[in-house]
Chain A
Amino acid sequence: MKLEIQNLVYRAGGRTLMDDISLVSDSAHCTALLGANGAGKSLLLRLCHGLLEPAAGRIRWDARPPRELGAAITMVFQKPVLLRRSARANVEHALYLQGAPRAARRARAAAALELAGLEDCMERQAAVLSGGQQQRLAIARAWALKPAVILMDEPTSKLDVRSAAQVERTIGELRREGIKIILTSHNLAQVRRLCGEVVFLHEGRLVQQDAMDDFFARPADDIICEFIEAQTF
């Protein structure tokens, strides 16, 4: 789906946290949201999802507001929020919320867990899975709903290198299926591996939106240069 944001403003507690953001992102790209902590990355994801309502401006997915999209757009949070049930039951619960019939739930859950490489721990309690497995379970759950868009808030920030690689592999699977992905990350190497487009935010403002290679080749601002240098260390 194609994302269009026009003059987006968001305020909370008397402060302007999103200031006049406009951008268009094509469905083909996997988009990375970059910026320092507090730049507004997570906030923008929540606004795109419809979890928060903007104070002004518009957000449209193929000309429709996020609220109308239902499960066509889902989100994987920074810290996976899982129910106290088995891995499979976690995915099935999400499908149950969508009103899927029981037999379809079982089949779809099994497929999702396989996609995420979790077929061996389907019956394990979500809480005993490793951090990487939990994150992949959260992604599998999102994928099971057959969304057109998945938003991911720092999907690998809390993981070791090996787990992060497994999560990246799962994200690669999603991309191959043609699902539009927008993710936030601090790992520039990861962004290079996964994404085709970068949106850079600074203090609630859009600084640069560019194709991956152009972004790193021609940073539009000193802030970006500093950011890239800092992240490379």
Chain B
Amino acid sequence: MTDFSDALQTALHLLVNLDAGLVEIIALSLRVSLTAVAAAALVGLPLGALLAVSRFPTRRFWINLLNTFMGLPPVVVGLMVYLMLSRAGPLGPLGLLYTPVAMIIAQTLLIFPIIAALSCGVVQGLFDEYHEQLRSLGSRTLATARTLLWEGRFGLVTAILAGFGRGNAEVGAVLIVGGNINHSTRVMTTTIALETSKGNLALALALGLILILVSLLVASAAQWLHTATMHRGRA
């Protein structure tokens, strides 16, 4: 398969030479996705935990809604954000369309349900085990949510990584709200789409390999965080 060996060679070439354009694109991809993940986690983790530990009549409905929204089509989210941020839209005066901020907003909306739903699941599992004990110690709903978020921190890392993966790999939303503007809103996925449309398939695949590499690095960082904080002992 010459296509694949070409792509591999191109990828190595780009990485070894630390191509300036590539670095800029990777940096923007990371900036957008990591900021979106941080924003989504800031809201999603507490919300997911609260949904897990509290009991109210419409609780199941909200959990179902979150689970459904985990699969939101990026293009639809992109379109909604576009219509909101467009100069003719309600948030038009902010002038955010075709900026990295618009991409962050779109990705946050995509990632938030994933982090909230997964953390709800993680905390729910812990809640079944802990809730009598915590109640016995006088813990209220809010304190229980906080305690269990910390208890489940290693499971939540996975939820956050899933969110990051979704944001980092997504192309439909950022293309619509970012516009794939060179040196401004061009990220890994939109570049791959662009190079594919130019027929530069080897280059596009090379960029794809680098995108996977970047995801691998981020996941490894999380793994490093995980393993380095554990030590083996006897029960």
Contact = CB atoms under 8 A, between A and B. Distances in A.
Direct contact of A and B (CB under 8 A): yes
A97 B136 contact: no
B130 interface: yes
B3 interface: no
Contacts of A70: 138
Nearest to B234: A128
Contact of B233 (A71, A94, A125): A125
Interface string B101-125: 0000000000000000000000000
A209 interface: no
Given A81-B129, A83-B147, A97-B143, A51 B233 contact: no
Interface residues of A, number: 20
Contacts of B235: 127-128
A150 to B, nearest CB: 10
A125 B234 CA distance: 11
B156 to A, nearest CB: 13
Contacts of B137: 71, 74, 94, 97-98, 141, 145
Interface string A77-97: 100010110000000011001
Given A97-B143, A128-B234, A128-B235, A77 B138 contact: no
Contact-residue size bin, chain B (C-beta under 8 Å from the other chain): 10 to 19
Contacts, number: 41
B197 interface: no
Given A93-B147, A128-B233, A128-B234, A51 B132 contact: yes
Interface centre among A70, A74, A97, by most chain B C-beta atoms within 10 angstroms, is A97
Nearest to A49: B136
Contacts of A83: 147, 151
Interface string B127-139: 0011011111111
Interface of B: 129-130, 132-139, 143, 147, 151, 233-235
